[in-house]
Copies of this chain bind each other. A is one copy, B any other.
Amino acid sequence: MSNATNTQVLLNSRPKGIPQAENFTISECPIIPPKNGQVLIRNHYLSVEPAMRGWICDAGNYSEPVGINTVMRSLAVGEIIESKSPDYHVGQHVLGMFGWQSHTTTDAANIDRVIDTSQLPISTALGILGINGLAAYFALLEVGLPKPGDTVLVSTAAGAVGSCVAQIAKIKGCKTIGITSSPEKIELCINEFGYDQAVSYNSPNFVEELANACADGIDVYFDNTAGRISDAALTLLNQRARVVICGTASISQWSPIPLGPRVERHLLVKRARMEGFVIFDYADRYHEGVKQLSEWILEGRLHYREEIKHGIEEAPDSIAALYRGDNLGKRLIKLAD
């Protein structure tokens, strides 16, 4: 293997706002042979996350920014093709922060988990059983605290996180309302993900349509967008409502911090709560989430969509595409079968 080539996507410049294709360069280099304690992984699927915007930007975030001229940070699933670790063997499928590259040579300690390939496709480890589904699971249940009969409003309702949130909320006996971007996605929300109602933020009557859909108020607002979508939602909170801030997809730049209507009075009068959520804080409970989500999928109670692009050359534009709302499911880059 050591003479074979590794194809990598490098960050070549720090974007202002949403990362674009031109912020990345595709480059080739020799595969590095694993040393003792290391494995060589051939990546099958690379992930694409809205959160990658934050992983790249210079502003304060929850992790160090990706360095210029280094491989773009990404979760990936792949197969071990060479192992110098006693803990792993060739042929195992594994998940980890392996980066946007065709091959990853890394310490075995950097493997997050071995993937059970017996029941569900390995791609699910990056979506519904990856940080998207896990974020939905822990953020809704631990921060949103839904009770049967609650109204749960979800922004980016058809997305990888939002669609999972809504289905878990439904399993927990809640009414679910989605905010999405198009009539096509409204259809998807209602027919595939079981939302009771969905509205489009691109409608000229969005604010009124949302108020009508939320006639009983909102008990949990699961926020993946921030911005004007949240501004409309906050006016509809019920007493003791919980706002889960899981993403800020509608704000392209946070430096300087954009202005919006102040939230203090809404929160005070409604005794409501807004709380931020980062999935990596729950790493030691992932197994619990994966187990429950897998069960629900196998029982047919939890549906997911994947939108798979083929070839690493799809990676550089893929974050921008997410923010354009092009996708109808978890966006993945497939490199190998």
- CB of A149 closer than 8 Å to a CB of B: no
A245: B residues at CB distance < 8 A: 264, 267-268
- Give the distance to chain B from A161, nearest Cβ to Cβ, in Å: 13
- In the complex, which residues 250-282 of chain A have their Cβ closer than 8 Å to any Cβ of chain B? 251, 254, 257-278, 281
A264-B223 CB under 8 A given contacts A275-B272, A276-B269, A276-B270: yes
- CB of A213 closer than 8 Å to a CB of B: no
Please determine whether B278 and A265 come into contact, CB atoms closer than 8 angstroms: no
Counted per complex, copies of this chain come to 2
A269 to B259, CA, bound (A): 18
A54: B residues at CB distance < 8 A: 269
Q: How big is chain A's contact interface, by range?
A: 35 or more
- Give the distance to chain B from A167, nearest Cβ to Cβ, in Å: 23
- In the complex, which residues 60-102 of chain A have their Cβ closer than 8 Å to any Cβ of chain B? 60-62
State the majority secondary structure of interface residues on A.
Answer: mixed
Residue in B closest to A255 when the chains form the complex, CB atoms: B265
- In the complex, which residues 184-236 of chain A have their Cβ closer than 8 Å to any Cβ of chain B? 223, 226-227, 230
Please determine whether B281 and A268 come into contact, CB atoms closer than 8 angstroms: no
A260 to B54, CA, bound (A): 22
A270: B residues at CB distance < 8 A: 276
- CB of A247 closer than 8 Å to a CB of B: yes
- CB of A169 closer than 8 Å to a CB of B: no
Residue in B closest to A275 when the chains form the complex, CB atoms: B273
- CB of A246 closer than 8 Å to a CB of B: yes
- CB of A23 closer than 8 Å to a CB of B: no
A265-B281 CB under 8 A given contacts A260-B260, A274-B274, A276-B271: no
- CB of A12 closer than 8 Å to a CB of B: no
**Closest 9 interchain pairs by CB?**
A267-B276, A268-B276, A226-B264, A257-B261, A273-B275, A259-B259, A260-B262, A271-B276, A245-B268
A60: B residues at CB distance < 8 A: 269
- Give the distance to chain B from A20, nearest Cβ to Cβ, in Å: 21
A273: B residues at CB distance < 8 A: 273-276
Please determine whether A268 and B264 come into contact, CB atoms closer than 8 angstroms: no
A223: B residues at CB distance < 8 A: 264
